[in-house]
Each structure stands twice: as C-alpha cells, then as structure tokens.
Amino acid sequence: MKPIIALNLKSYPESLGKGGLELVRIAREVSKETGVRVIVAPQAVDLAAAAKMHRDIFAQHVDSQRQGAYTGWLTCEAIKSAGCIGSLVNHSEHRLSEEAIAATIARLKEAGLESMLCTKDTQESVRLARYRPTFIAVEPPELIGSGISVSTAKPEVVSGTVEAVARVKGPPVLCGAGVSTGSDVKKAIELGAAGVLLASAYVKAKNPRKLLAEMAAAIE
C-alpha cells in the first residue's frame, strides 16, 4: 500500500466553512497531482460540502448509535449520506471506552465505511488491533500540536508499534503527533509507518499547499 497522508482539520476557526473547504480543495489538488492518497477530516457541518469536492473525506468522530428516535447522535448512516467514506475513532481529544471503540468500528464496517483508530502508544495499539479497524494511527498525546514530530522525538514508538501490530496481523499503522514537515513524513515512512496523521501544521500553515506538496513529495 502506498503511504497516505491524513489531515484532521479539528475545530479551528481557520478550518470552518470557507476556510475548511479551501483546505479540502488544496488536498484534492495535491492528491490528484502526486497520486498520493490524502484523507481529510473536516468539521462536521462541512462534511457534505467537502465530500462534493474530494472523495477521501472522513468524519472526525462518529457514534455507534443506530438510526431512530435518538437525539444528538452522529450515526454512520448520516456521515455516509453526507458523502464520507470513513471516520476517525478515539482521537486523543475525543477518547472513547474500549466498548465504544469496538461498537463504533463494527458499525462503520456494517455501513461499508473505513475506520482510522487513534491510539496513544504501542500497548494500546496492539490491544485494540483485535477490533480490526482499517488503519491504526498511533499518536503520543504529549506531542500533539507540539511541532515536535513523533518520528523524531520518539522513533521507537513508530517502529515498535508497526512491528508489534504486524505480529498480531493488525492493520497498517500511521503515526501522528507533531508531524510538521516533509522531513517528518520521510522519517515516519523510513520507520515503517503506512502514512501520517496531522492537523495544526496544515491548518495553520502560511502556505498549506506548499507544505502538503512537500509532504507528498517525501512519500513519492
């Protein structure tokens, strides 16, 4: 599998509405130009508009609740109807119980959607791999938003998780937390990662297109 880049736009003011859709447009163009798969997770209110622009749209979160007389839940069917092809699960800023993780991944599979399960370390990655998400993205929480890439600060977390998950025949492993440059991406791939997950470095970049192009070039 060719390495992928996953972009979590979070709830930043810069990624809401027109700003967020511009970031999606850039991702679509860079993906088309380079052949690198670029997944984008916009804010919930922008999912439908984003999906009309780019095929690789994920929700940032989805609930395992089924459709029905329930208020305030974001169902798998709802994000699929909006055009999403998957969702992040258990991001460090939106942690779930193991029971909820299992149920959410199962519901995503049932709906024909992909799942990117976020984990905090190697041990959690191995434990949760049993639920067979499409991807695992290991992100040490202390490095998220730090600008210090996990592939540089804690390379053993990346290589160790890749090897440990492979031993239990788990899914491809991406890495995240502090990924900010093309060099960070190149190092992650060298350590065995199947790609990277990043957020603030892209959303807040002065030139997000230049940054994303450099990251894609590091994969090529």
DSSP-assigned beta bridge partners for residue 195:
4
- At 118 the pLDDT is 96
Residue 27 in contact with residue 38, Cβ under 8 Å?
yes
- At 156 the pLDDT is 84
139 carries an active-site annotation? yes
Residue 116 in contact with residue 39, Cβ under 8 Å?
yes
Q: In CATH, what number is assigned to the domain containing residue 156?
A: 3.20.20.70
- At 216 the pLDDT is 96
| pLDDT tens sequence for the chain (220 residues) | 789 999 999 999 999 999 999 999 999 999 999 999 999 999 999 999 999 999 999 999 999 999 999 999 999 999 999 999 999 999 999 999 999 999 999 999 999 999 999 999 999 999 999 999 999 999 887 666 656 566 666 788 888 999 999 999 999 999 987 788 999 999 999 999 999 999 999 999 999 999 999 999 998 6
54 carries an active-site annotation? no
Radius of gyration of the chain (CA): 16
Structure tokens at 7: 């972009």
- At 179 the pLDDT is 86
- At 194 the pLDDT is 95
- Structural domains of the chain, count: 1
- At 151 the pLDDT is 65
Catalytic residue among 139, 163, 214, 220: 139
Domain that holds residue 214: 4-219
Phi, psi of 99 (to 5 degrees): -60, -45
0.85 cut: is pTM over it? yes
Q: Which helix (H) or strand (E) holds 58?
A: strand 58-59
- Establish how many alpha carbons lie within 13 A of residue 13's alpha carbon, considering only the half-sphere containing its beta carbon: 0
Describe the strand order of the beta sheet including 4-8 as a list of residue ranges.
Answer: 38-41, 4-8, 195-198, 173-176, 135-138, 114-119, 86-89, 58-59
Supply the DSSP string of 96-161, one letter for each residue: --HHHHHHHHHHHHHTT-EEEEEESSHHHHHHHGGG--SEEEE--GGGTTSSS-HHHH-HHHHHHH
- At 155 the pLDDT is 81
Catalytic residue among 22, 54, 91, 94: 91
